[in-house]
Each structure stands twice: as structure tokens, then as C-alpha cells.
Amino acid sequence: MADAAKPSKLMLDECYSSEDDRFLDEFRKFDSYEFLLGFVQKWLQDERPWAKAQIVRYLQEDFDAPAHEVVVKRLFKHFESQQEHDILGHFMVAFDRLVRRKRVRRYRYDRSTRQSWQEEALYAKPNKAVRDEINRTATYKDFRGRETTYRLPDLRNKPGNRLFSQRTRNYLRRRVWRYFRQLSYRKPMAYVAFVAAAMKEYEDRDFAVGENILDNWSLVHACYFHHDAIEFTASHANLVEGRSLAELTPAPYQLPAWQTPKGALALVELIVEAQSTLVRLWAMELLQREHPDAISKIDVETLMKMLSHVDPRVQEFAVALFQEHDALSSLHIETWLALLDQANPTVLALICDAMRRHVTADRLDNDQLLELACARPVPVARMGLAMLQSRHAHRPLSPVLIARLAACNCEALSREIGTWALQAIGTPELYELNCVTEFFDALQLPMRTAAMDWLQEKTSPGFNDPALWARLIETPFDDVRLRLVENLETRAALPGRDGGDLAPLWTAVILGVHRGGRTKLKAIRQLAQAIANDVRRIDALLPVLSVALRSLRKPERRQALSAIATMTSRNSELAEAVASGLPELRWLDATREVTA
């Protein structure tokens, strides 16, 4: 190895002394046994919490740094002698990860019967991490004393290689499990606590395939030691012939310790905090079997964590407990609201059902009810609306408060919410322009649709309100503009507006390129009718009509051409204005027909 590639001791010391997070990355680059052995002694004598935290981090990483066998052994012997159970739990997980067998096919032959067959077996391929060595040579001396130097193959470490030989790995697994086995006899409750803490560290990647379950030697001992489908050898755990992993049920080592109240608490913590699905399922099954009474006494805060868990099986487990929990009736409103905010969408409907049964609208203030009704999830918004309607029936809310429903985030219920809100505040006695306008400016399309439906009702106080219609003319929403044009088909004019004032509305509809094809034709017809009714408006409205005439869409061009021909045929005064404003039109004959 060239000098430039050597790791820097100065850099390592700097990171170590300044508690730099790059320390482990630098430390793992060293492969000198003498240096590593000296540094690990210094590391173990360091009393800083950071130094111990780095040891835990080191154990959580893959043991793949060449020559670090001395580090792992020295750390393990030190903490074993000091009886630091929590650190040894990390060794338990790390040693289990060292052994990974793969399925292979072996050929067998019976000489007596002269028959051959294949059988499946688990095989651990040698993959010991080594230091890179190139240009290796060796010397051979023959019987005459002559020496011959010859070249040896280069040694290069490969990705996936790990520390120690397979035999040493098996020994380390047995030794760390022996420590916890002896602890279980001396201090059963300490055994449960620290083994459970170690079980939390296993991850789903440790069980990528079924045989990996058996490779986790210590975990299999802790969880399935007494199961008759597993047999243990000095090196491995194997399935009994004819049995399968699907048959495994909790059969833990030192079962009486897990049957205690502290054992129940440890199982509940595993369900919430374990990082692997296997451990969570094992804990749930053992808890249901050995502690049926303790399940109903799980505190609500823990159930909240289960309900918001990423594992759907934990959520299902918690839902069944949550619906029948004794403390739901006395649960604080803040806790309910936090639960609705944190829960996974798959169980949200069940939580809302439980809240309906145990919580009345009287326990929530107006702001909380409005927040629920405006929530995005459908179950929460539906429950909030029902509670809000109940509150309004007994203690009517002010129009200002109800207008806040226009900010509803649930698109599926926004039309229903808008319809109810406008019925509540859209009466002559409660009608306020500013409050009603909020629903026409809502971000949700169904909410604006409900507002326009309300506006078209002749009993609505906004039906003939010029101020409201004036605001709607300036709306930025295409759907509202189209509905306004539809209204002009049944009304001679909008309240407080004449034909000239509607030019911006017609222009916006005609210029729209994404929607409103049929409504554009109505807008063109209305525009031409306004010009025919008042010739003085032709200078202001003809440019808008010319936009439709010059459209790329044939229906719009035809409608505009038809409208121009109709209005000029009825009023000869318009012909000159049309001819100057639309020079591309050419009169064909005395019938005054025009064409583009």
C-alpha cells in the first residue's frame, strides 16, 4: 500500500478528541493489529458518554473492516468481565449477523442400494475479511539447499466478507448466549429486560430469507428454545426433518420469567419499539397467550403509539384493544385530537367510530369542532361536521364562524359541508356578504359548486344581491364564470349589471382554452344579443366577438359568424361598424350574407 493511501493517525486523534462523527469512518480504515490494540485500550478507558456511544455505533455496523478482529475481541472480553448487559446485547445482535447460510443441493449415493438422490442443505460459505496484499512471494528450499522464489496470488478483500472464520463466529455466538443464559438463572428479570432490549435491535434485513431466522442463533434460543420443530447443534439451529418455519410459535427460554408482569411490560415495549416484523409478531402472540388480562390494561398512550405504527399488523392488534378500552370515556380531548392527527389512515375510521361513542360535541369548543370539520381525512371531516351540526342545533354559531368551513380540506365532503353552511347562514336574517363570498372563493371545486347551487335558488338572499354578483364577475375560477354565463340564459341580466359591464366575463369565458366549449357558444350568443340591444356598445363589445370569430375551433367560429350575420341582418347600422372592425369579412351579395 502506498504511503499516500495510508490512513492519518493525526486525523483520527483529532476526530476522537473533538468528538467528531467522522471518527468511526477514520478508525475503520486502520488495519494494523498493533495500532488497533493500543487504541482500543485508550478507547475503553475513556469515560466520556460520547466514547461509549461510539462503541455502540461500532457494534451496529457490519464487521467487515480487515484486521479488526482484535478490536471486537478486546471489546467483548472487557464488557463481559464488567457484566455490562446492555452492551453485550449489541454483541448478541452483531454476532448473530456474522453467520448467513444459503440453501444448496447435495448429491447422495448409497452403495448398498446403488441409488443416488439430491437433498437440500444449508451451507455457510467461507468469507473471512482479509487485508489487501499484492505482489506476494514465497521461498522454496529444495533438498540441496537451493532457494527458489515464486509469486503467490494477490489477496484482496471482497464486498460481503466479514471478520472471523466460520468456526470462530459460531464460538462467539455460543459464548454471548452463554452469558445471557447464566444471567437468566441469577437474575431472571434482568435477563428479560436486557434480552428484550437486544431483540429490539434486530431489523427486517436480518430476516431477508427464511433460513436467516435459524442463523440468528441467540434470537432463536431466546424465542423458540423449547419448540419441538427446532433442534440445536454446537454450531447451528436447524429445523427437524419434516417440519417448517410456519409451525413456529413462541416457546422462549425461561418462560416463567416472561410470564411475570415485568415480562408483560417487556412484550408490550417490543410490540411498539422492535425494528423487525418477526420480533413484533412473536411478542404479540406471546402476550395474547400468556397475558390476556394484561392486554386490556395497556395504557392509552401506548395504544396511540401502536395505532400510528408503520406495521399494519400492530395497528390491527391495537384497534381491537382500543375499541373496548375502559379508559376511553375519560380520555382527554387533547389526547383524542392528537390520536386523530397521528393515526394511520387505515385505522382512522375505527378511531372516529370510537370517538363518536365516547365523546359528545359538548366536550369540544367551537374552534376544535371547526378544525375537525375542515380536516382532510374523510372520517374525521364527517365526524366533525356531525358534531358541528349538533352544536349549531342547540347553540347556533355566528356566520363568521361558519364561514370558516369554506377552508375545508376534504374534497369528498366539501360540497356537503358547503351546502349545509350556506343553508345555515344564507337566510335573510343571517345573510352577510363577506361571509357568503368565502364559499365562492373556496379552493375546493365541490365547495364552489355548492355555492353556485345555493345562489341559483330564488329564495336565496343572494339571488338578487348586486354586490355579490359584482364580486362574482371578477372571480378567478373558470367554473364560476361558466355558471354565470349559464345563469344569463335564464335571466335577462345579472342583478345590478348591464350588458356592457359583462364584457370581462364574456371575454374570460371565450378566451378559456381548457374547458367550457358549450358555454362559450352561449357567451357568444349573449354577446351578440347585447350589441343588438344597444348599438352604442358595439365599439366595446365587438373586439370580444372578434376573438371568437378568429378562434381555431370551428364551432366557435361558426357561432360567431352566425351571430354577426343575425345582428347585421336585423340592424343595418351595424354593418359599417362590423366591416371596419372585422375587415376579413366580405359581403357576398345584397342579402348581406357574410363569410370569413
Backbone angles phi, psi at 150, to 5 degrees: -135, 160
Output the 3-class SS for 527-590. Answer: HHHHHHHCHHHHHHHHHHHHHHHCCCCHHHHHHHHHHHHHHHHHCCCHHHHHHHHCCCCEECCC
Can you give the pLDDT at residue 504?
65
| Position 530 in a domain | yes
For residues 157, 162, 166, 168, the Cα torsion angle rounded to the nearest 10 degrees is: 110
In a domain, 557, yes or no: yes
Check whether 577 has a pLDDT greater than 50: yes
Residue 39 has pLDDT above 90, yes or no: yes
Is the torsion defined by CA of 476, 478, 482, 485 positive or negative?
positive
Determine the average pLDDT of the residues in 6-12: 89
Poorest-confidence range of 108-117, 341-350, 458-467, 549-558? 549-558
pLDDT digits (tens, 9 = 90+) for 429-481: 888 888 888 998 888 999 999 988 888 888 888 877 777 877 776 777 877 77
Task: Report the number of distinct structural domains present in the chain.
Answer: 1
Pairing of strands 237-239, 230-232: antiparallel
HSE of 104, CA atoms in CB hemisphere, 13 A: 10
Q: Say which residues have a Cβ less than 8 Å from residue 262's Cβ, sequence separation at least 6.
A: 189, 192, 193
Residue 593's SS3 state is coil
Q: Would you place residue 301 in the very low, low, confident or very high pLDDT band (cuts 50, 70, 90)?
A: confident
Q: Is residue 53 part of a domain?
A: no
Cα angle for residues 576, 580, 582 (degrees, 5° grid): 110
Q: What is the pLDDT of residue 122?
A: 81
Which phi and psi (to 5°) does residue 121 adopt? -145, 165
Report the amino acid identity of residue 293. Answer: D
593 in a domain, yes or no? yes
Lowest mean pLDDT of 104-118, 366-380, 474-488, name the range: 474-488
Average pLDDT for residues 4-12, to the nearest whole number? Answer: 81
DSSP-based three-state secondary structure for 115: strand
Handedness of CA 315, 319, 325, 328 (dihedral sign): positive
Among 123-132, 183-192, 224-233, 495-504, which stretch is predicted with the lowest mean pLDDT?
495-504
pLDDT of 335-368, one tens digit each? 888 878 877 777 788 888 888 888 888 888 899 9
Please compute the mean of the pLDDT values over residues 127-141 and round it to a whole number. Answer: 83
Nine-digit cell string for 230 = 427446532
pLDDT category, 2, cuts 50, 70, 90?
very low
pLDDT-derived band at 549, boundaries 50, 70, 90: low
What is the structure's pLDDT at 360?
A: 86
Secondary structure of residue 148 in the 3-state scheme: strand
Per residue in 497-524, pLDDT tens? 554 466 666 666 665 655 556 666 676 6
Model confidence at 87, pLDDT cuts 50, 70, 90, reads very high
Structural domain includes residue 580: yes
CA atoms within 13 A on the CB side of 211: 13
Q: What's the pLDDT band for 282 if we cut at 50, 70, 90?
A: very high
pLDDT for the residue numbered 325: 73
Beta strands in 2-101 (DSSP E): none
Output the pLDDT for position 4: 44
Q: Is the pLDDT of residue 390 over 70?
A: yes
Cell numbers for 522, please give them: 352561449
Q: Where does the pLDDT of residue 334 fall: very low under 50, low under 70, confident under 90, or very high at 90 and above?
A: confident
Q: What is the pLDDT of residue 342?
A: 75
Whole-angstrom distance, CA of residue 578 vs CA of residue 596: 12
| Length of the chain (residues) | 596
Mean of pLDDT values over 303-317: 84
Q: Is the pLDDT of residue 396 over 50?
A: yes
Bridge partners of 116, per DSSP, are 109
The answer to whether the beta carbons of residues 594 and 564 sit under 8 Å apart is yes
Does some domain include residue 321?
no
Contact between 106 and 121 under an 8 Å Cβ cutoff? The reply is yes
Look at residue 443 and give its three-state secondary structure.
coil
Give burial (CB, 10 Å; 0-12/13-18/19+) of 32.
middle
Q: Band the pLDDT of 88: cuts 50, 70, 90.
A: very high
Q: Is the pLDDT at 187 greater than 90, yes or no?
A: yes
Query: Is residue 555 very low, low, confident or very high in pLDDT (cuts 50, 70, 90)?
Result: confident
Please, which residues have CB within 8 angstroms of residue 378's CB and are 6 or more apart in sequence? 410, 412, 413
Q: Which of 105-119, 146-160, 320-334, 482-496 has the lowest mean pLDDT?
A: 482-496
- At 304, the pLDDT band (50, 70, 90 cuts) reads confident
Average pLDDT of span 304-332: 79
* Secondary structure (DSSP) of 151-210: EPPPB---TT-BSS-HHHHHHHHHHHHHHHHHHHHH-HHHHHHHHHHHHTT--GGGGSST
How many alpha carbons lie under 13 Å from residue 498 in its C-beta half-sphere?
6
**Domain for residue 231, yes or no?**
no
How many angstroms separate the Cα of 281 from the Cα of each of 80, 248, 304, 321, 497? 30, 11, 18, 16, 70
Which residue range forms the structural domain that includes residue 517? 498-596
Whether 519 maps to a domain, the answer reads yes
Asked if 124 contacts 166 with a C-beta cutoff of 8 angstroms, the reply is yes
Q: Nearest Cα to 531, choosing from 502, 557, 500?
A: 500
Residue 494: which pLDDT band, with cuts at 50, 70 and 90? low
More confident position, 22 or 552: 22
